Amino acid sequence: MAQVTGGAHERMLSVAVAALHERDPERLWPLLAGALPGLCGGETLIYKLDDWNEAEGTVGMPPEAAAGFDGLAEEELGLLRTGYPFAHRYAAGPDRTPLTARRAAGAAWSASPTARLIGDIMDAEHVLAIPLPGTTTPITGCMVYRSGTDFTDDHLRTARQLQPLLAAVEQQRQLLERRQRTAAPRAVHTPAADCALTPRETTVLLLLTDALTAAAIGRRLGISDRTVHKHIEKIYRKLGTRDRISTVLRAQRLGLVPMKDR
């Protein structure tokens, strides 16, 4: 398999670090949207964090691209939500390999209403779908757009290598949203600052409350078991605890993690 080039690897690492230090879940995907297209040969993108279907769902995009979407009719928004021809393709089975519209639909792509729409509002001719790996229902992810020639095999390989990063950022977004919904308003900020937990330690702590093993946490975050254990040791030291149960209980009392429903 081709490796990500040095420059692209550095940009991927920069995006990952920025995402891990971002505390506002609403800013994570806009952060990705600004960096992701250039990494895999695109010019702009839209992302769907709910199912790719015509009837409902939100469409996110970089701020600089938003002006082109103002005033779209509901039918046109439905075309973007559906993500032709990808939704039906991915719904048919578990394969989540990135794919271009032309490779998925052949000659029918150029004649489709979706192709005409993106040509009008984005001046683009080609689309690369990057679904989040492991998603079933809903199918979530992003679609990257470009003009000129279609995405190359190298672009598709890079997209596959980006999928774990996208999945980790989405996991981080969901954890932060859950924390915002359930933690006491005062406890969200002050105790964490007092304990000086890093963003990554806070994420590991949240996963500890779900009784996940170090191996499971590592798989979720894309890090080794050894790194997970180092984070756990630092959490113990900062909270003044010695085991998982006392750590979770203390974190709940401090408002660092939500109380579990009984």
Higher-confidence residue of 6 and 15: namely 15
Highest-pLDDT range among 7-16, 68-77, 90-99, 149-158: 149-158
At position 170, the amino acid (one-letter code) is: E
pLDDT over threshold 90, residue 147: yes
Question: Which pLDDT score is estimated for 192?
Answer: 53
Report domain extents, the chain: 6-167, 183-254
* 213: alpha, beta or left? (left if phi > 0; alpha if psi -120 to 50): beta
113 pLDDT more than 90: yes
Q: What's the pLDDT at 175?
A: 85
Identical fold between 6-167 and 183-254: no
Q: Which residue has the higher pLDDT, 132 or 199?
A: 132
Closest by Cα among 54, 7, 56, 55 to 35: 7
Q: CATH fold of 183-254, please?
A: Arc Repressor Mutant, subunit A (1.10.10)
As given in the structure block, the two tokens for residue 42 are: 């695109």
Ramachandran quadrant class, 248 (left: phi over 0; alpha: psi -120 to 50; beta: rest): alpha
Residue 27: pLDDT band (50, 70, 90) is confident
> Which residues face 99 on adjacent strands?
129
pLDDT digits (tens, 9 = 90+) for 30-89: 888 888 898 899 999 999 887 777 777 778 887 777 767 777 788 888 888 888 898 888
Pick the CATH number of 6-167 from 3.50.50.60, 3.30.1180.10, 3.30.450.270, 1.10.287.130: 3.30.450.270
pLDDT at 154: 95
pTM of the model: 0.67
